[in-house]
Amino acid sequence: MNNFIWVKLKQNNSLCLIFFFFLILSIDMKAGENPVGLSHIQNILKNDFLDEEIEKREQGKKSKNILAHSKTVKNYRVPEIDEMIGIFSELWLVKNAQVLSWDFVHPDYGVLEVFLDLLEELDHVEKKVKILFFDSTKQYHFAIPGMNSEMIFCLSLPFIREMNLSKQEISMILLEDFYRLDKMFFTKSLIDDEMKKIAGKNSYPEKINTSFYKKILNQYDKLIYEMNYSFQQQYEITKIMSSVLKSKPSLFSIYSSLIQKKNMLLRSNDNFKNYSRIYPSPEIQLNWLEE
């Protein structure tokens, strides 16, 4: 007679089978006889492993569903205001590539290096700067906030060529736009109550109405092509330029020369007559510098 003890243990999520055979009495088996019911044990093992595999697959399906849902919810996240404006700036540039004609092959004018050196000299260090030249007089120069604190400066080639500006004089135009961005004139004009309400939120399961995106891009058009800076804003920027440059006579001289060239251009070329509609009259600026 055979006595059989079967112990099943679970350790570390692995199935361990330990068989103990104890011959308590004498064994008297016939040939071909199954002493411990091996076929029965095999069926038990097979069913145990099958149940465990089914359970693992079900857990795997649940995990995949949870992950897929999590990704879907994340897609409805609305960026914070700074990130949102950076995205809109990139979209607007793509949308206006043909209007401004900025996507064209041109030589490296070396302006970026000179401008970065100027910023560093004025203690504006570690600034992320991108300069785009456009072959159009639809606008003359402007700057918009980009992604990850980047500043995107856009310059009209016909505008700077007509005045035969040096790299240092071009850098002074960029410096004015730098301070306009720093004072957040553009950003403050762009932000409205709707943007404040949805920024940084998750709109799941509702999608943001496409009219919101169209409204912001249209506002970009208005601010860049039609914006009239207030008299106070123009005065403030000119006085900032005067303040930071007067202690550096060579730089102040370059800035003064730039304004004089702009004054001559607007007097002699009607193609640029709209400049003073957006930016301050060079004559007025010269008076402000003498104050």
pLDDT over 60 at 28, yes or no? no
Q: What is the mean pLDDT of the chain?
A: 81
Own/partner long-range contacts of 39-45 (Cβ < 8 Å, ≥24 apart):
41/6, 45/17
- Spans of all domains in the chain: 3-28+37-74, 81-290
Render pLDDT for 39-74 as a digit per residue (tens, 0 to 9).
655 565 556 555 666 666 766 666 666 666 566 656
pTM surpassing 0.85? Answer: no
Position 72 scores a pLDDT of: 63
Of 216, 101, 90, the C-alpha closest to 152 is 90
pLDDT over 60 at 6, yes or no? no
